[in-house]
Amino acid sequence: MDDRRWGFAGLSDDEYAAFARRDADVPAPARGEPGEVVVVTADGVRLADDWRARIDPRRLGAEVVAAAGRAVSAELAAAVRDPVSSPAGGPAPDLAPWGGSFARLVEDARRDVARFSAAASALQGRAVTRTSAGGHVAGSARHGVVTEVTVDPVWARGAHVRDLEAELTDVLVGLRRHAVPEAVSQGPTHPATVALRQLAGDPARVVRLAGMTS
């Protein structure tokens, strides 16, 4: 018997093929390292089905904070492994808004970055808090890092795992959104800055626009 058929011996070839196709179309649920009670991903919070047997409900908040920290570390590691590079060979940006002057473009972009830096600095160290819509989970963050999560232990003891995950996700997503507003998380977005990003992948084009070659 094909090892892949182990446990499905009662199915015909056609039935097994249909099952395999269906199963391949279903994305696997997020899982952390073996033994992790809580996993935090970009999509939300996942709890081990047997989490109550493994930790005291009063420790759940601390486990979520630790999992959020692991998620941030994983994101940073991924960014180091696969840095985002500017595409080369794209269409040249239109310099008409700056009178065709590369120098004016750079100056406009410099002012935009200065404004962005000032806005980002104003958020530095700001503490934000969030309470879930259900009222059973609360959290706080500083510098965009989750520092505390509290969960009503009485509710947690009897709540369905999916309800727990929903309220924990509500809090973490809210903390991320309020700690780093979208206007800041997207980086400088002024047309001049965008144009310079387009040019970043083609140094030769920058040299020509700057008039450094004949």
The pLDDT tens digits of the residues spanning 60-114 come to 999 999 999 998 888 777 766 665 554 545 556 666 677 667 777 788 888 878 8
Given this model, what pLDDT does residue 209 score?
65
Cβ of 46: how many Cβ atoms within 10 Å? 21
Tell me which of 13 and 213 has the higher pLDDT: 13
Measured over the CA atoms of residue 153, residue 157, residue 161 and residue 163, the dihedral's sign is: negative
Cβ atoms of 84 and 197 closer than 8 Å: no
Nearest in space to 136 (alpha carbons), one of 94, 167, 93: 167
The single-letter DSSP state of residue 6 is: T
Dist. CA 199–CA 132, nearest whole Å: 44
Q: What is the mean pLDDT of residues 27-41?
A: 64
Q: In what order do the strands lie in the sheet with 145-151?
A: 127-131, 137-142, 145-151
Q: Work out the pLDDT band at 183, boundaries 50, 70, 90.
A: low
Q: What is the mean pLDDT of residues 11-31?
A: 47
Tell me which of 164 and 210 has the higher pLDDT: 164
**Given phi > 0 = left and psi -120 to 50 = alpha, else beta, which region is 98?**
alpha
Given this model, what pLDDT does residue 9 score?
45
**Contact residues for 88 (Cβ-Cβ < 8 A; gap 6+):** 201, 202
Cα 83 to Cα 75, 183, 185, distances in angstroms: 11, 22, 17
Dist. CA 17–CA 19, nearest whole Å: 5
Q: Work out the pLDDT band at 23, boundaries 50, 70, 90.
A: very low
User: How much is the pTM?
Assistant: 0.58
Tell me which of 193 and 161 has the higher pLDDT: 161
Given this model, what pLDDT does residue 56 score?
94
